[in-house]
Amino acid sequence: MFKSALMSRSSLFCIMLLSILVGCTSSKPPSNKPAKPIPSLANIQVDGAGREVVMYALGLLETNYQFGGTNPEAGLDCSGLVMLVYKNALGVSLPRSAAEMASVARPVSKAKLQAGDLVFFKTTDRSFSHVGIYLGDDKFIHAPSSKGKVRIESLANSYFAPRFEGGRTLMSAN
């Protein structure tokens, strides 16, 4: 009888373990919501350090916005995104605010922007209040605002074009 009870308990344990494992591997039903199209990046040419910055930044697309955020799991704000990307892609530590980032980077004309450079905007009453990472082909990636997600925009966007304050670089080849 003891052997029979032990086998029953073992069988029960195996069945429970199997059902837990099967539950963990079940797939989520597909969403009926169409995926948001990502702007074409076909014309972007990137190499060197700029490539590392761009690739890391693109991996953060659709990350939630969080004011003061520096952690992709909790959310990122614009300068938190830039800090995280530069730290992890190049090992470069940057100051916390967009304005402080602008003060440590070298100005570069819009025509000479290269992938990985920083682009700055005046979105509040103070200069250099928003920052993004230039991707090339007139596009940049940024953490936009509350209730937003990290996304790609055009410098020609009707909101950002009139607020563009300039590009800055931290790259040695610019």
pLDDT (tens digit, 9 = 90+) per residue, 75-118? 999 999 999 999 999 999 999 999 999 999 999 999 999 999 99
pLDDT for 134? 97
pLDDT for 172? 77
Quote the CA–CA distance of 174 and 165 in Å, as a whole number: 18
pLDDT for 12? 39
Quote the CA–CA distance of 19 and 136 in Å, as a whole number: 50
pLDDT for 149? 96
Quote the CA–CA distance of 11 and 171 in Å, as a whole number: 63
Which of these ranges, 54-58, 100-104, 168-172, has the smallest mean pLDDT? 168-172
R_g of the chain, CA atoms, integer Å = 23
At residue 58, does pLDDT exceed 90? yes
Quote the CA–CA distance of 12 and 15 in Å, as a whole number: 5
- The tens digit of pLDDT for each residue in 10-55 reads 443 334 333 333 333 333 334 444 444 445 554 555 668 899 999 9
Listed in sequence order, the residues at least 6 apart from 21 whose beta carbon sits closer than 8 Å to its beta carbon are none
Q: What are phi and psi of 68, to 5 degrees?
A: 80, 5
pLDDT for 145? 86
Answer CATH for 48-169 from 3.90.1720.10, 1.20.1740.10, 3.40.50.10860, 2.40.10.340? 3.90.1720.10
Contact 45, 124 (CB under 8 A): no
Calculate the CA 135 to chain-centre distance: 12
At residue 5, does pLDDT exceed 50? no
pTM for this structure?
0.75
Helices (H), 46-153: 48-58, 78-90, 98-104
pLDDT for 45? 55
**Active-site residue list:** 78, 130, 142
Instruction: Tell me which of 12 and 133 has the higher pLDDT.
Output: 133
Rounded to an integer, the average pLDDT of 128-135 is 97
Which helix (H) or strand (E) segment holds residue 130: the answer is: strand 130-136
From residue 89, alpha-carbon distances to 13, 52, 53 in Å are 46, 5, 5
